[in-house]
Amino acid sequence: MTATLTHLHAGDSIESIVAAIEADGGVIVEGLLRPDTLERFNDEITPLLEQVTPERKFLNPGLDFFFGTRTRHITAVASKSRTFVTDVLVHPVLLGLCDAILAPGCARYQLNLAHILDRGPGAEQQYIHRDELVWVHVPRPHPELQLASVIALVDFTAENGATRVVPGSHRWPWERVPETDEFAVAAMPAGSAVIYLGSTLHGGGPNSTADQWRRGMHLSYVLGWLRTEENHYLATPPAIARALPRQAQELLGYAAHDALMHGGGYLGALDLRDPVEMLADGSL
């Protein structure tokens, strides 16, 4: 594992972060969450994690294999954590990157998935994959579909299962298998994120520690005309979404995808109207 990822800081320019992502398929951005934000977010997450166990049901046997039995999961994060909604989902660096990488391919981008993975001792190397294969039916080549991140909510180390990324794999032929020395370990301090494209090979590393839980969050955004991995209308229904800031409502998919200005039509209407406007006027 001798490959490396560029380390930048949340205060660096969006252009420099985009350039690193386009060159390597991924980058580490340190300082994405300020220490006080990180502490507040973790304070909200800890009691949620205490209510779940790693032994749980998944959608299909493929996910049983993918996630294993040593990881605690929190989903529907927008409905459970105010800090996520106000400080993470709408983070200016993440949205700045989405503006550069996703906006050219759609009328608006949206949240794909926000998923806390607390990978416990004994968690195995995750299957190395490309996130965008959830949209396998989109013919290639295609515009960038997804921008993803794994945010370190504790320090990520090689021992506790820091995400492993294959720099350059976003440009590889689909069938090429990485050699051991082509992996980079996304070791980084808490509050940092590894940010990568949907086409970049990666996976959670093995947790070889005796007692450390590697708490991280997968947070990804997708073109507004694709179906999202998590069903946000069920995860964060109108009764909850109504109380959220408008920008969060929009990212959760309550805003119609209106491509009129691109010569197209609209998606995601309710009663031929824009649901986010209906949240605003009290009719939803």
230 binds Fe ion (CB under 5 A): no
Site size with Fe ion, rule: CB under 5 A: 1
> Mask 72-111, x = binds Fe ion (CB under 5 A)?
----------------------------------------
131 binds Fe ion (CB under 5 A): yes
* Segment near Fe ion (CB under 5 A); pick from 71-79, 116-124, 131-139, 157-165: 131-139
With residue 223 as reference, give the H or E element that holds it: strand 214-223
Handedness of CA 85, 91, 94, 99 (dihedral sign): positive
* Segment near Fe ion (CB under 5 A); pick from 42-50, 98-106, 127-135, 265-273: 127-135
* Segment near Fe ion (CB under 5 A); pick from 46-54, 128-136, 244-252, 272-280: 128-136
When the beta carbons of 24 and 131 are compared against Fe ion, the nearer one is 131
- Written as one string, the DSSP assignment of 39-106 is HHHHHHHHHHHTT--S----SSHHHHHHH-SSEEEE--GGGT-HHIIIIITT-HHHHHHHHHHTGGGS
* Segment near Fe ion (CB under 5 A); pick from 39-47, 64-72, 106-114, 130-138: 130-138
When the beta carbons of 131 and 144 are compared against Fe ion, the nearer one is 131
Handedness of CA 42, 43, 47, 48 (dihedral sign): negative
132 binds Fe ion (CB under 5 A): no
Which residue's beta carbon is nearest to the bound Fe ion?
131
Structure tokens at 171: 């440009």
C-alpha to C-alpha distance for 245 and 19, rounded to whole angstroms: 31
Cα 212 from chain centroid (whole Å): 22
When the beta carbons of 83 and 126 are compared against Fe ion, the nearer one is 126
Output the smallest distance, CB 184 to Fe ion, in A: 15
Output the smallest distance, CB 246 to Fe ion, in A: 29
C-alpha to C-alpha distance for 255 and 57, rounded to whole angstroms: 31
Beta pairing partners, 273: 270
- Written as one string, the DSSP assignment of 70-84 is SEEEE--GGGT-HHI
Output the smallest distance, CB 149 to Fe ion, in A: 10
When the beta carbons of 77 and 241 are compared against Fe ion, the nearer one is 77
Output the smallest distance, CB 148 to Fe ion, in A: 7
When the beta carbons of 198 and 268 are compared against Fe ion, the nearer one is 198
Structure tokens at 50: 């205490």
Structure tokens at 48: 């949620």
* Segment near Fe ion (CB under 5 A); pick from 125-133, 168-176, 187-195, 241-249: 125-133
According to DSSP, residue 133 is labeled G
Residues in contact with Fe ion by the rule CB under 5 A: 131
